[in-house]
Amino acid sequence: MKLNDEYITRIEKITNLGAGIARIEGFVVFVENSCPDDEVKVKITKINKNFAIGEIIEIIHPSADRVEPFCPMYKVCGACQIQNIKYEKQLEIKKEITQDAMKNIAHLDINIPNTIPSPKIKNYRHKIQYPVSQTKVSGRILAGYYKPKTHDLVNIKHCPIQPEICDKIIEFIREKAGICNIQGYREKTHSGDLRHVVIRNSAVNNKNLVVLVVNADKVLSKFNEFAKLIYENFDEVNGVCINFNTQKTNVILGKKTVCLFGKDYIEEKILDKTFKIGADTFFQVNPESAENIFRYVKEFLQNNCDSPVVLDAYAGISSFGIAISDVCQKVVTVEEVKASCDLAKEVAKLNNIKNIEIYNEDAAKFLRQTGGKFDAVILDPPRKGCSEESLKEACRLSDKYIIYVSCNPATLARDLKILCDIGCSVESVQPFDMFCHTYHVENVAIIKV
């Protein structure tokens, strides 16, 4: 096998990163934009010791599961890696990704049920984060997503996986920025004003919180003028905030946010509970799919524990704890970000929830220092998963169950292996589709202690 060689091959399956797998002359070849059972002609573009990368130059016989992507920006944007595959097959792929992780990493022989679909597969994404730039010659403002594996900005005028109002707000920002002398950010020279636009959209009332991330450390008059212009032109905008980020970093939000007009939050509703979502609040981007997960956990607790006492670690704004509170005797939530804890207390008061205790502390430290027992411990960590110490402490504190909510099958499987090695048993792993048309899959694992 050599670079630029061409082969006719069949795509076997989709990897956990969204690429197709083919086997040619003993090599595993990863092929983007493919579909299981496609017969394709590929050109080899890269060769490593154990695998190669190929690109499709002709689809000879398309798979029965291949469809035309509904977004014209599918190939250049790269955000929806498997949008070229029927939705029903996407759900099968996510089940298979979970099954492979459990078998190959956790060494678990466990039956994975079908992936629970998202209630909506378009307009489902309610958090939008667009980098902003500006063309050199015309000075035109660009806002969109980066091309895969680059920092070349694709100017996105319409994104069908987000609410339509978000497209309108972004287009208004592109068109009107010049009126207020707002310049797009230039990454190479660390110059310009507007780095990102972040929009939080409410699925319950279509209200929006617009956050302008600026390359400055104070509110300039032109930022105030621009924020006012946005706020006054959209009834759907609940508030406009400025976030300050002067660092040379890929991190989107800086540490300080100021609300200039309106309110600094939107409201969202899950399982009849009202939540407040701020500029930097962690909250699931697909609220309707998140409701499926919360309901699943709530029903499990209701059916398997009698008025349980529950610990919710890595709690964010205590959304899990608040959602399940009415089937619990008491819920204790732990979150290291003070602003999230403050907001959680507001939300608990808003929903008249009195059986919740909210602690502002590092989850690992809290787990280590806490005594007593809980009927169940909910772990909902970031993609990197939990530390071995945190898993052992969760095991010590739980009298019956650990409920592990994960957005990364690989780290979930790694952590389940650790739990099994210290004597726990995995009762079930249920996949949910939170990010339609991507390779991402959310899972809820029930672990018996």
Report the CATH number at residue 311.
3.40.50.150
Residue 161 lies in a domain: yes
Alpha-carbon span 421 to 425, nearest angstrom: 9
Residue 74: other Cβ atoms inside 10 A:
17
Q: Hey, which residues are catalytic here?
A: 407
Whether 82 is covered by a domain: the verdict is no
Same-domain check for residues 156 and 250: yes
Looking at the predicted structure, is the pLDDT value of residue 136 above 90? no
Cα 10 from Cα 37, distance rounded (Å): 6
Rounded to two decimals, what is the model's pTM? 0.93
60 and 99: one domain? no
Mean pLDDT within 58-69: 97
Whether residue 81 has pLDDT greater than 90: yes
Where does a domain end: 202, 237, 270?
270
Together in a domain, 136 and 47: no
Q: What is the mean pLDDT of residues 86-107?
A: 97
Task: Give the DSSP letter of residue 220.
Answer: -
pLDDT of 223 over the 90 cut: yes
Flag whether 76 is in a domain.
no
Residue 235 sits in the same domain as residue 338: no
**Domain encompassing residue 230:** 127-270
Residue where a domain stops, chosen among 28, 51, 66: 66
Q: Could you tell me if 242 and 318 lie in one domain?
A: no
Q: What is the number of domains present in the chain?
A: 3
State whether residue 441 is helix, strand or coil: coil
pLDDT band at 275 (very low <50, low <70, confident <90, very high): very high
- Identify the DSSP state of 234: -
**CATH assignment at residue 145:** 2.40.50.1070
Using an 8 Å Cβ cutoff, are 369 and 310 in contact?
A: no
Is the residue at 318 inside a domain? yes
Residue 11 is assigned to a structural domain of this protein: yes
Q: Are residues 183 and 213 in the same domain?
A: yes
| The domain boundary residue, chosen from 245, 270, 295 | 270
| Burial degree of 170 (CB within 10 A; 0-12, 13-18, 19+) | buried
Indicate if 384 and 365 belong to the same structural domain: yes
339 pLDDT band, cuts 50/70/90, is confident
Q: Do 324 and 351 lie in a common domain?
A: yes
> Is 141 a domain residue?
yes
Tell me, yes or no, whether 316 and 372 share the same domain. yes
Asked if the model's pLDDT at residue 105 lies above 90, the reply is yes
Q: 147 and 34 share a domain?
A: no
Q: Is the residue at 220 inside a domain?
A: yes
Q: Are residues 223 and 299 in the same domain?
A: no
The pLDDT tens digits for 229-248 are 999 999 999 999 999 999 99
The domain that holds 54 is classified in CATH as 2.40.50.140
Please indicate, yes or no, whether residues 111 and 152 belong to a single structural domain of this protein: no
Per-residue pLDDT for 75 more than 90? no
Round to whole Å and give the CA distance between 34 and 19.
7
- Residue 431 within any structural domain of the chain: yes
